Amino acid sequence: MEEDEENSIPNEDETNEELNESASEEGFEDIKTSAGMPHFYENNDEGSDTITKVTGMYKDWFLDYASYVILERAVPAIEDGFKPVQRRIMHSLKELDDGRYNKVANVVGHTMQYHPHGDQSIGDAMVQIGQKELLIDCQGNWGNILTGDSAAASRYIEARLSKFALEVLYSPKITDWGVSYDGRRAEPNNLPVKFPLLLAQGAEGIAVGLSTKVLPHNFIELIDASIKILKGKPFTLFPDFQTAGIADVSNYNDGMRGGRVRVRAKIAQLDKNTLVITQIPFSTNTTTLIDSILKANEKGKIKIKKIEDNTAADVEILIHLFPGVSPDKTIDALFAFTACETSVAPLGCVIEDNKPLFVGVSHMLKISTERTVQLLKAELEIQLEELKNKWHFSTLEKIFIREEMYIDFKLYSDRESLYVYMYDRFEPFKKSFVREIEDDDLQKLTQIPMIRITRFDSDKADDFIAKLEDEMKEVQHHLDNLIDFAITYFTRLKDKYGKGRERQTELRSFDNIEATKVALRNTKLFVNREEGFIGTGLKKDEYVTDCSDIDDVIVFLRDGKMMICKVDDKKFVGKDIIHVAIFDKSDKRTIYNVIYRDGKSGPSYIKRFNVSGVTRDKLYDLTNENKGSQVLYFTCNPNGEAEVITIMLRQIGTIKKLKWDLDFAEMAIKGRASKGNLVTKYPIKKIEIKEKGISTLKPRKIWFDDTVQRLNVDARGELLGEFRPNDKILVISQTGKLKVIIPELSTHFDEDMVVLEKWHPKKPISAIYYDGEKERYYIKRFLVETEGKEESFITEHAKSQLEIVSTDYRPMAELVFTKVKGAQKENQTVDIESFISVKGFKALGNQLTTDKLKQVNLLEPLPYEEPEEVIPEELEVEGETEVSIVDEDIEGIQPDEDGQITLF
The helix/strand/coil state of 411 is helix
Please work out, in degrees rounded to the nearest 5, the angle formed at the alpha carbon of residue 733 by the alpha carbons of 730 and 739. 35
264 with 335: CB under 8 angstroms?
A: yes
768 with 829: CB under 8 angstroms?
A: no
d(CA 510, CA 46) in angstroms, rounded, equals: 78
Residue type, 65: Y
Counting Cβ atoms within 10 Å, is residue 210 exposed (0-12), middle (13-18) or buried (19+)?
middle
CA-wise closest residue to 32 among 64, 58, 63: 58
Please work out, in degrees rounded to the nearest 5, the angle formed at the alpha carbon of residue 624 by the alpha carbons of 618 and 629. 90
Query: Burial letters for 379-404: b for 16+ Cβ neighbours within 10 Å, e otherwise?
Result: bbeebbeebbebbbebbbbbbbbeee
Beta strands in 783-889 (DSSP E): 791-792, 801-806, 812-817, 828-831, 846-849, 853-859, 882-884
The DSSP H or E segment spanning 609 is strand 604-609
Catalytically annotated residue among 41, 58, 68, 156: 156
Instruction: Classify residue 406 by its DSSP letter.
Output: G
561-566 and 620-621 strand pairing: antiparallel
The helix/strand/coil state of 843 is coil
Is 156 among the residues known to form the active site?
Answer: yes
246-248 and 506-507 strand pairing: parallel
326 with 520: CB under 8 angstroms?
A: no
Instruction: Classify residue 73 by its DSSP letter.
Output: I
274-279 and 261-264 strand pairing: unpaired
Instruction: Classify residue 172 by its DSSP letter.
Output: G
Q: How many helical (H) and strand (E) elements, i.e. helices and strands, does the chain have?
A: 19, 50
**Side-by-side strand order, sheet with 533-535:** 542-547, 523-528, 533-535, 571-572
267 with 280: CB under 8 angstroms?
A: no
Chain centre distance of CA 415: 74
d(CA 837, CA 834) in angstroms, rounded, equals: 7
d(CA 475, CA 463) in angstroms, rounded, equals: 18
Beta bridge partners of 883: 635
Please work out, in degrees rounded to the nearest 5, the angle formed at the alpha carbon of residue 647 by the alpha carbons of 643 and 652. 170
Q: How many CB atoms lie within 10 A of CB 312?
A: 10
Catalytic site residues? 156
